[in-house]
Copies of this chain bind each other. A is one copy, B any other.
Amino acid sequence: QGTRDHPPAQAALRDRLLAAVVACFKRHGAAAIDTPVLELRETLTGKYGEEAKLIYELQDQGGELLALRYDLTVPFARYLAMNKITNMKRYHVAKVYRRDNPATTRGRYREFYQCDFDIAGQFDPMIPDAECLKIVHEILSDLQLGDFLIKVNDRRVLNGVFAVCGIPESKFITTCSTVDKLDKMPWEDVKNEMVGEKGLSPEAADHIGEYVQLHGGLDLIERLLQDPKLSQNKLAKEGLGDMKLLFEYLTLFGITGKISFDLSLARGLDYYTGVIFEAVLLQQEDNHVEESVSVGSVAGGGRYDGLVGMFDPKGRKVPCVGVSIGIERIFSILEQRVKVSGEKLRTTETQVLVATPQKHLLAARLKLISELWDAGIKAEMFYKKDPKLLKQLQYCEDMGIPLAAIVGEQELTDGVVKLRDVTTRQEVRMSFLHQISNVLPKI
């Protein structure tokens, strides 16, 4: 339940998708690392807040207590701390595991791929952060998923807003998770949750509402920097200053057209400390209305400067910022699109089918195909001694194999092979077999 086999058509589509993502990560100079699927249970403990109950644990069969990794970020932080690495740009494409209810949301499974790119190290502010956003922009553009929007916010701005609205620090995280629902429900419902469940005063909630419903670009940042209350808050001022810098860099990258500074963006995970972001696809029919319910976010990430320190005995921090591409959702969308278009995806890359039109020519096929393989050509043949030519050609059409290399008795005598274009049915004779045609046994 919640895991699945990937038959060839899916596996081929997925491979193409992953290849595009990895190509982008490599284009940005990232190195690959791999970490085990099994982590010590204690490594994962206390990193995911409420979501911890979704961690798969292994049976105690003697030895260490183990669990399946829940994401790739915590193992990366553990890896950096364990190896005392303070500077690294890495990508990691691998499966993670969650004991989630797989039926509730589309494209959500218990075993799924994550594609992560992270930059660890102490650098000048917002340069690596801007690169992460550039990567999201490149990948979503490359994959031609349609129009998209990358929402950006900063945890410090959000916390500053809560502070100036009179929320005690102890309620920041829980208020944050309520704010995060603004993309799924109207402000009135969010406010009710704040007041009813989270115990904020209606005035404080309204005050928060004035801020978190704002979104815009550099102009909004400038305005908030002048805001009489926010500008007095140290955290908010820092966050807004960095946000301004970020937008300057994004302007140089030429991608601000698809970026929105959105104060309602909060992101669920506890470990974010600065910039946070999330990309959503926009519904094409309804003219730029977000399709957040049916598709949800297709990429997200942010800055987590405290996580590595949690694994270091001396608590030494390594600042990190990273992005995770929601490959499973993107895959669902592309799969759906292929289904609708009726397009038939090839599951193999075979270039030539080696075929024979008469009986007793297996030896010729074996000899020819072996030469093709040795020359690096992707070739197949039927595993039958005497297959019918029609069936062999039909197979080419079914599988999208563009060429058939046909060796019949006449070709064998002439020392040639007939190369047939499966679509146009044009044939050319090529000398190929003249050294071997005389020495072949009849089998």
Residues of A within 8 A of B (CB): 1, 3-8, 10-12, 14-15, 26-38, 56-61, 63-64, 68, 79, 82-83, 89-90, 95, 97, 99, 110-111, 119, 121, 123-124, 127-128, 130-131, 134, 138, 248-249, 252-254, 347-350, 362-363, 366-367, 370, 373-374, 376-380, 383-385, 440-441, 443
Contacts and interface: CB of A to CB of B under 8 A. Distances in A.
A348 B29 contact: yes
27 contacts: A4-B36, A5-B79, A6-B33, A8-B31, A8-B32, A11-B33, A26-B378, A27-B379, A28-B373, A29-B378, A37-B95, A37-B111, A38-B56, A38-B97, A38-B110, A56-B61, A57-B61, A58-B68, A123-B383, A128-B383, A131-B383, A138-B373, A248-B441, A248-B443, A252-B363, A252-B440, A254-B370
A12 B31 contact: yes
Nearest to A383: B123
Contacts of A383: 119, 121, 123-124, 127-128, 131
A58 B56 contact: yes
A83 B97 CA distance: 24
A366 B58 CA distance: 47
A31 B252 contact: no
Q: Among the interface residues A6, A130, A348, which one has the most CB atoms of the partner chain B within 10 A? A: A348
Given A366-B253, A376-B27, A34 B11 contact: yes
A36 B3 contact: yes
A12 B82 CA distance: 20
Given A373-B134, A384-B124, A14 B30 contact: no
A433 to B, nearest CB: 12
A1 B14 CA distance: 32
A75 to B, nearest CB: 8
A353 B172 CA distance: 42
A440 B350 CA distance: 50
B11 A111 contact: no
A89 B349 CA distance: 13
A29 B350 contact: yes
Contacts of A127: 362, 366, 383-385
Given A38-B97, A124-B384, 14 more contacts: A1-B64, A5-B33, A5-B36, A27-B376, A28-B379, A29-B350, A29-B379, A38-B56, A57-B61, A58-B59, A58-B68, A127-B383, A128-B383, A131-B383
